[in-house]
Amino acid sequence: MVRRVVAAVAVLGLLSACTQQIAGVARTERPDVSKVAGLDITTGESGPKPGVPDADLRVENGDGGEMDRLSTNALADVEEYWSEQFPKQFGTRFESVKRLVSYDSNGAGVEICRTNTKGVANAFYCSLDDSIAWDRGELLPMLDDMFGPMSVVTVLAHEMGHAVQYKLGDKGGITQATPSIVKEQQADCYAGNFFRWVAEGKSAHFRISTGPGLNQILSTMFFIRDAAGTSAEKQGAHGSAFDRVAAFQFGFAGDPKRCAQIDPDEIRSRITQEVFDPNERDLGFGKGNLPVNDRKSLDLLESSLRDAYKQSGATPPALKVGESSCPDAQPTSPASYCPATNEISVDMPELVKIGTPPKRGQKGGIGDFAAFAEIASRFALSIQKATGYALEGPAAGLRTACLTGAWAGTTTKEGVQLRLSSGDLDEAVAELLADKSLIAADVNGTVVPSGFARVEAFRDGFFEGSGLCTRKYSG
């Protein structure tokens, strides 16, 4: 986050995103907190189905190893999905991708799409010869090691999304002049369409739970995001984690026609990815990060929260550093809310751990926004108590995430002293996908089991404000 007042022109673009309804996205339907986009929240196995024969697809340059088998099975199922959907959704026949190519980026290069693959740790679709290629040597094993086999399926479903764009032509609204961010958002959305089909049990080779399984998919989207400070207008831009996860969720909850509706106008209305302000300095915690144990930062946070929720008429909670006992709620880390005393207590060492971003190649915390948002979530509980809402249970957790998102939305306004910085919303995604997310937890720290639902609730609040939170997540 940033301690400063920003120029109006930098804020107005974000404010437009905070007020515009996106076509095709239902915002006011009250959700069943036991479901994800209408499907039951499940916690079963995710990954390849055991005992299913491998798909019989021709792959060039393959080695027959685990990554190639996984990729071939994924592409076979994705093609089956689109073979079903093209006639239903677009009134046309789906033509299979003509060329599938496996390569090892650490080995001898292969010429694909006028490119030599030596040293290219990537997966991509090429419209020049209607091909999909993947790196079995470095990229796919790394994803598999970090997030499991369904991360590989995610990447290839995204690349097939680009093939879908090419094959749809005018029906997909994509031309050579279409900005890359639009193409990438559509492809993420099409991947969401496919995973809905998998979650419904229709895939021959794969299965996925809507709880931990989808959490891993969204974590993969987080990993392959654009770096903080990247312009959405840059050629090749794929999107921030916040924006990529949103597109995937639109696809999972909607149909392929919803994805084909993604166009430059929609992107301009909701994309949050922005460059760093030229005056923004690195204070030693990475650009865009403040020291969370700095008294001035905490004072600005408290002021920001009071301002965000002042229309509720609630008495703001006291914010103190250190432990305190509470007769009617369990302690939560790094911040706890006590309903009996209307007080938030902060464990500063734990807050610093979360608020300190990891150094390259190392494990660590997340960043300042994630830490501040965890305090904001406890502040949101005090508002719920004052306005008569229950503080325990899944509905309370989602309402808390939504209200925290609503606070985040206020930090984009003109004249604020604590302002959202590039990469902050990605920190929110990282925290919301964590097993012990506090942003989407009730007063006792009980977490809503679906990361998908957590992120969606936060995004609802960010774009629509606190009024939607109490209507949609009333319990």
Sequence letter at residue 369: F
Sequence letter at residue 61: N
CA atoms within 13 A on the CB side of 74: 28
- pLDDT value at position 3? 63
- pLDDT value at position 10? 30
Alpha carbons 60 and 381: distance in angstroms, whole number: 56
Is pLDDT of 27 > 60?
Answer: no
Nearest to 58 by CA among 76, 78, 83: 76
- pLDDT value at position 286? 78
Query: Between the CA of residue 474 and those of 38, 249, 405, what are the distances in Å?
Result: 18, 22, 16
3-class SS of residue 322: coil
* Local confidence band at 24 (pLDDT 50, 70, 90 cut-offs): very low
Quote the pTM value: 0.90
- The phi-psi region of residue 450 (left if phi > 0; otherwise alpha if psi is between -120 and 50; otherwise beta) is beta
* Local confidence band at 360 (pLDDT 50, 70, 90 cut-offs): low
Lowest mean pLDDT segment, chosen from 23-32, 155-164, 212-221, 267-276: 23-32
* Local confidence band at 7 (pLDDT 50, 70, 90 cut-offs): very low
- pLDDT mean over 428-452: 95
Strand segments (E) across 77-230: 99-103, 111-112, 115-116, 123-126, 131-135, 206-207
Is pLDDT of 26 > 80?
Answer: no
- pLDDT value at position 361? 57
- pLDDT mean over 85-90: 97
In sequence order, what DSSP letters do the residues of 359-416 get, joined into one string? PTTS-----HHHHHHHHHHHHHHHHHHHTT---SSHHHHHHHHHHHHHHHHHTTSTT-
* Local confidence band at 370 (pLDDT 50, 70, 90 cut-offs): very high
- pLDDT value at position 9? 28
Sequence letter at residue 424: D
* Local confidence band at 16 (pLDDT 50, 70, 90 cut-offs): very low
Alpha carbons 296 and 280: distance in angstroms, whole number: 17
- pLDDT value at position 21? 29
- pLDDT mean over 188-209: 98
Alpha carbons 292 and 398: distance in angstroms, whole number: 25
- pLDDT value at position 200? 98
Alpha carbons 449 and 443: distance in angstroms, whole number: 15
Mean pLDDT, the chain, whole residue set:
90
3-class SS of residue 248: helix
For 108, counting Cβ atoms within 10 Å of its Cβ (0-12 exposed, 13-18 middle, 19+ buried), the class is exposed
- pLDDT value at position 85? 98
| Number of Cβ within a 10 Å radius of residue 388 | 7
* Local confidence band at 362 (pLDDT 50, 70, 90 cut-offs): low
Sequence letter at residue 179: P
CA 123: distance to chain centroid? 20
Lowest mean pLDDT segment, chosen from 176-190, 209-223, 270-284: 270-284
